Chain A
């Protein structure tokens, strides 16, 4: 694919439900990031993978949030027992090809999560 893709684009969940958000990075990109963007705010870092290794999860707001990238490609962000404060746009970004260090992050379209 030409860019980062995310699915679903929109998700409405009832409070207490579990959700799973998917990110397909640019083919061959080594690094993958998840950010959370609340309405009217800048994106905030959640977690970062290099290949399948989760190197930084310092931004995950609680233990209800879990991310994985088991084969070093597609990633899933899971939120358990959703709360209203989880309502936000979740952005995925990828960067860097193996053997070619690159810092520029390319963002996907985001998943807008609304918890009712």
Chain B
């Protein structure tokens, strides 16, 4: 059974600081996704990582994937209040199954 673990589950940080969210998964996977969810809203796709060593950046967020370690990271640089949200990582199974298995999410609060 594929399991996805994120840590930390809660993160409170000051504006301007850097931090990293970690996502571990238990079995080989084709693809890893990062989503953002604002309260009461749906999921917004941030990144799709397809191969070992993949790195993608958008603004203050950078995601990377190490398939050998079964680990993805989401790095936040110089956080701003607008980044406050819950961030989920998700993976799908190697072999073509399309369903996503999500982590529990990391609730990020950026304080002024």
Q: Could you list which residues of chain A lie within 8 angstroms of chain B, going by C-beta atoms?
A: 31, 33, 35, 40-45, 48, 56, 59, 91, 95, 103-110
Say yes or no: B99 contacts A42, CB within 8 Å.
no
Give the residues in chain B near A48, CB-CB below 8 Å: 98-99
Which B residue's beta carbon lies closest to that of A106? B45
Say yes or no: A45 contacts B99, CB within 8 Å.
yes
Say yes or no: B104 contacts A56, CB within 8 Å.
no
The answer, among B30, B92, B102, for a CB contact under 8 Å with A42, is B102
Say yes or no: B92 contacts A103, CB within 8 Å.
yes
Q: Could you list which residues of chain B lie within 8 angstroms of chain A, going by C-beta atoms?
A: 4, 30-31, 33, 35, 41-45, 48, 88, 90, 92, 97-105
- In the bound complex, what is the Cα–Cα distance between A103 and B90 (angstroms)? 13
Interchain nearest-CB distance for A77 vs B (Å):
15
Tell me how many residue pairs across A and B have CB atoms closer than 8 Å: 51
- In the bound complex, what is the Cα–Cα distance between A43 and B42 (angstroms)? 10
Given contacts A48-B99, A59-B99, A103-B31, contact A43 B43 (CB under 8 A): yes
Interchain nearest-CB distance for A88 vs B (Å):
14
Which A residue's beta carbon lies closest to that of B102? A42
Which A residue's beta carbon lies closest to that of B43? A107
- Ranked nearest first, the 5 interchain pairs of A and B with the lowest CB-CB distance are A42-B102, A107-B43, A45-B99, A107-B42, A109-B42
For the complex with contacts A95-B98, A103-B30, A110-B42, 7 further pairs of A-B residues with Cβ separation under 8 Å are: A33-B99, A45-B101, A59-B99, A91-B42, A104-B45, A105-B45, A107-B44
